[in-house]
Structure 1
Amino acid sequence: MSDTSWLTEFPQLDRQQLLAIRQTLDGAYRTFSREYGDTIESFFDPLLSFLIGFEKLLLATPWWLMIALLAALAFYASRSWKLAIGVVVAFVFIGLFGMWDDTMRTMSIIIASTLLAVLIGVPVGIWMARSDRVQRWVTPLLDVMQTMPAFVYLIPVVMLLGIGKIPGLIAVVIYAIPPVIRLTNLGIRLVDKEVLEAAEAYGASRWQRLTGVQLPLAMPTIMAGINQTIMMALAMVVIASMIGVKGLGQPVLKSITNQYFTLGLLNGLAIVALAIMFDRISQSYARRAQQHLSGSRHD
Structure 2
Amino acid sequence: MDWIEFPSLSRENMLTIKKTIDGSFKEFTRAYGDLIDKFFDPLQDFLVLLERLLITSPWPVVLAFFAAVVFLMSRKVSITIGTVVALSLIGVFGLWEDTMRTIAMVTVCTMLAIVLGIPIGIFMARSDRVQRLVNPILDLMQTMPSFVYLIPVVMIFGIGKVPGLIAVVIYAIPPMIRLTNLGIRLVDQDVLEAADAFGSSGSQKLMNVQLPLALPTIMAGINQCIMMSLSMVVVASMIGVKGLGQEVLNAINNQYLTAGVLSGLAIVSIAIIFDRATQAYGKRLQKHSEVVHG
The equivalent of 1:186 in structure 2 is: 182
SS at 2:239's partner residue? Answer: coil
The equivalent of 2:126 in structure 1 is: 130
- Partner Cα separation in structure 2 for residue 155 and residue 264 of structure 1: 26
Q: Select which of 26, 29, 37 maps to 1:30.
A: 26
1:264 matched to 2:270: no
The equivalent of 2:151 in structure 1 is: 155
1:277 matched to 2:273: yes
Question: Deviations along 1:227-267, whole A, 9 cap, x unmatched?
Answer: 00000000000000010111001110001011000000000
SS at 1:242's partner residue? Answer: helix
The equivalent of 2:230 in structure 1 is: 234
Q: How far has the Cα of 1:188 moved from its partner?
A: 0.3
The equivalent of 1:78 in structure 2 is: 74
1:127 partner letter: F
Q: Select which of 202, 214, 221 maps to 1:218.
A: 214
The equivalent of 1:290 in structure 2 is: 286
Q: How far has the Cα of 1:68 moved from its partner?
A: 1.1
- Partner Cα separation in structure 1 for residue 51 and residue 236 of structure 2: 16
- Partner Cα separation in structure 2 for residue 55 and residue 85 of structure 1: 24
The equivalent of 2:240 in structure 1 is: 244
Task: Could you tell me which runs of 5 or more consecutive residues in structure 1 were left unpaired when the two chains were aligned.
Answer: none
The equivalent of 2:87 in structure 1 is: 91
2:196 partner letter: E
Question: Deviations along 1:69-119, whole A, 9 cap, x unmatched?
Answer: 111111111111111000000011000000000000000000000000000
The equivalences for 1:11-90 within 5 A come to 11-90=7-86
1:40 partner letter: I
- Partner Cα separation in structure 2 for residue 67 and residue 46 of structure 1: 27
Q: How far has the Cα of 1:127 moved from its partner?
A: 0.2
The equivalences for 1:90-129 within 5 A come to 90-129=86-125
Q: How far has the Cα of 1:287 moved from its partner?
A: 0.1
- Partner Cα separation in structure 1 for residue 45 and residue 69 of structure 2: 26
Stretch moving more, 43-52 or 170-179: 43-52
- Moved beyond 6 Å, runs of 4+: none
Q: Select which of 163, 182, 192 maps to 1:167.
A: 163
Stretch moving more, 236-245 or 56-65: 56-65
Q: How far has the Cα of 1:297 moved from its partner?
A: 2.3
Between Structure 1 and Structure 2, how many residues are aligned?
294
| Aligned CA-pair RMSD | 0.8
- Partner Cα separation in structure 1 for residue 250 and residue 144 of structure 2: 25
Stretch moving more, 251-260 or 56-65: 56-65
- Partner Cα separation in structure 2 for residue 277 and residue 15 of structure 1: 52
TM norm structure 2: 0.99
SS at 1:222's partner residue? Answer: helix
1:83 partner letter: I
Stretch moving more, 189-198 or 171-180: 189-198
2:33 partner letter: G
Question: Deviations along 1:155-209, whole A, 9 cap, x unmatched?
Answer: 0000011010000000000000000100000010010111111111101111110
